[in-house]
Amino acid sequence: MHQHFASDNNAGMCPEALAALVEANAQPHAPAYGDDSWTERARAAVRNLLEAPDATVHFVFNGTAANAIALAHLCRPYNSIIAHASSHIATDEAGAPGYFTGGAWLRVADGEHAKLTPIDIERLTAGGRGVHSTRPRVVSITQSTEHGTVYTPDELAKLAAAARNAGLLVHMDGARLANAVAHLACPAADVTWKAGVDVLCLGGVKNGLGVGEALVIFDGQLGAEVEWRIKQAGHLNSKMRLVTAPWARLIESGAWHANARHANAMAGRLARHITEMGGIPIMSPVEANAVFVDIPVAVQRAVRERGWRFYTFAGETVCRLMCAWDTTVESVDMFAADLKSAIVLAT
């Protein structure tokens, strides 16, 4: 047994990205620090993907760095960031946004299916005690969400309108933006800058890269000097082409879209199996590449004893089953069969 449902980052690099890495590495020498032709291509590919020819595009080590650097670029130390309580920045980054901003705080809301609402934004920005409270500056939205749900372009536009109304900028954690775009079958622009997003952390690693997330700032002025922040944070890779060649190929080959469509389809297949077997409630709409399910502890144990890995996410029984770009139909079917027989044994 070699595949798991713990995370989409349990998968390796996709063939397109790996081939580009090997090609870039075979070039005799290339300029350092991103002044090379692969990085130029990767930037162009990201701008093309987003239909944003003037966007500032940089590449950093991972998603935590992209989020923390982006938020530090937008916030002063006395600011606050509006986010969902389940967001990666709130729960999975060891306080990096606070550390990188030099003091900014998160103000969180805990709506259903890991989604923020315009009312949350109104509520979290209203009142306060002037100079005695942090000053809200950014709304951070995760697309697709930490619960595998997807904001529609309309929902995003309403969030952005509420943000603008409160004088806030909009940051998007797009670690799984590809899965949202695959679900909506819409251009990436429709759920980013056209929906009011100012700064995007664009994910590639969970979608088939080995390293490197993109930091995209749509407004040229807002993007000014961010390269110093990146360098100071230790995120300017000197052999940048080894990060950006796979990025360029991931997008140019269409794999960025295709990998996400595949991962979503596998989650859909898994959800259908689970619905059919009965007894395991699905906790959030399955719109991206995750299936959130309520599995009794004894059943979880039995499935894990068969060698499968997956995370328990909330309480003792809500589990996340995550599909990756390379999850096979066979893995999904085998997992479902093992889950079904574990339920039978436990009841």
Residue 62 as a binder of ligand PLP (CB under 6 A): the answer is yes
**Mapping DSSP to helix (H, G, I), strand (E, B) and coil, where does residue 141 land?**
strand
Residue 208 as a binder of ligand PLP (CB under 6 A): the answer is no
Task: Find residue 141's DSSP bridge partners.
Answer: 172
Interaction residues for ligand PLP, span 64-83 (CB under 6 A):
64
Distance CA 307, CA 266 (A): 19
Distance CA 56, CA 67 (A): 15
Question: What is the token pair recorded at 315?
Answer: 């309480």
Distance CA 53, CA 45 (A): 10
Q: Which is nearer to ligand PLP, 107 or 206 (CB)?
A: 206
Q: CB of 170 within 8 A of CB of 39?
A: no
Q: Which is nearer to ligand PLP, 9 or 341 (CB)?
A: 9
Residue 173 as a binder of ligand PLP (CB under 6 A): the answer is yes
Task: In angstroms, give the least distance from the CB of 67 to ligand PLP.
Answer: 6
Residue 142 as a binder of ligand PLP (CB under 6 A): the answer is yes
Query: CB under 6 A: which stretch of 60-68, 228-236, 252-260, 289-297 binds ligand PLP?
Result: 60-68
Task: In angstroms, give the least distance from the CB of 112 to ligand PLP.
Answer: 17
Task: In angstroms, give the least distance from the CB of 108 to ligand PLP.
Answer: 14
Task: In angstroms, give the least distance from the CB of 107 to ligand PLP.
Answer: 18
Query: CB under 6 A: which stretch of 62-70, 311-319, 325-333, 339-347 binds ligand PLP?
Result: 62-70
Binding-site size for ligand PLP (CB under 6 A) equals 10
Residue 235 as a binder of ligand PLP (CB under 6 A): the answer is no
Q: Which is nearer to ligand PLP, 64 or 192 (CB)?
A: 64
Q: CB of 124 within 8 A of CB of 138?
A: no
From candidates 34, 63, 98, 136, binder to ligand PLP by CB under 6 A: 63
Task: In angstroms, give the least distance from the CB of 71 to ligand PLP.
Answer: 12
Going by C-alpha positions, the residue among 55, 59, 47, 46 that lies closest to residue 220 is 55
Q: What angle do CA 52, 264, 16 make, to 5 degrees?
A: 60
Query: CB under 6 A: which stretch of 44-52, 56-64, 251-259, 322-330 binds ligand PLP?
Result: 56-64
Task: In angstroms, give the least distance from the CB of 145 to ligand PLP.
Answer: 8
**Residue owning tokens 């004894």:** 298
Name the phi and psi angles at 158, rounded to 5: -70, -40
Query: CB under 6 A: which stretch of 58-66, 107-115, 179-187, 328-336 binds ligand PLP?
Result: 58-66
Check residue 144 and give left, alpha or beta (phi > 0: left; psi -120 to 50: alpha): beta
Going by C-alpha positions, the residue among 117, 180, 186 that lies closest to residue 150 is 180
Q: 261: how many CB neighbours lie within 10 A of its CB?
A: 18
Stated as kind and residue range, the H or E segment containing 266 is helix 255-277
Distance CA 104, CA 130 (A): 15
Q: Which is nearer to ligand PLP, 62 or 338 (CB)?
A: 62
Residue 88 as a binder of ligand PLP (CB under 6 A): the answer is yes
Distance CA 10, CA 309 (A): 10
Which residues make Cβ contacts (< 8 Å) with residue 113, sequence separation at least 6? 145, 147, 149, 284, 285
Task: In angstroms, give the least distance from the CB of 302 to ligand PLP.
Answer: 28
Q: Which is nearer to ligand PLP, 84 or 262 (CB)?
A: 84
Q: Which is nearer to ligand PLP, 70 or 280 (CB)?
A: 70
- Counted residue by residue, the chain has a size of 347
Residue 146 as a binder of ligand PLP (CB under 6 A): the answer is yes
Q: Which is nearer to ligand PLP, 171 or 206 (CB)?
A: 206
Q: Which positions touch ligand PLP (CB under 6 A)?
A: 62-64, 88, 142, 146, 173, 175, 205-206
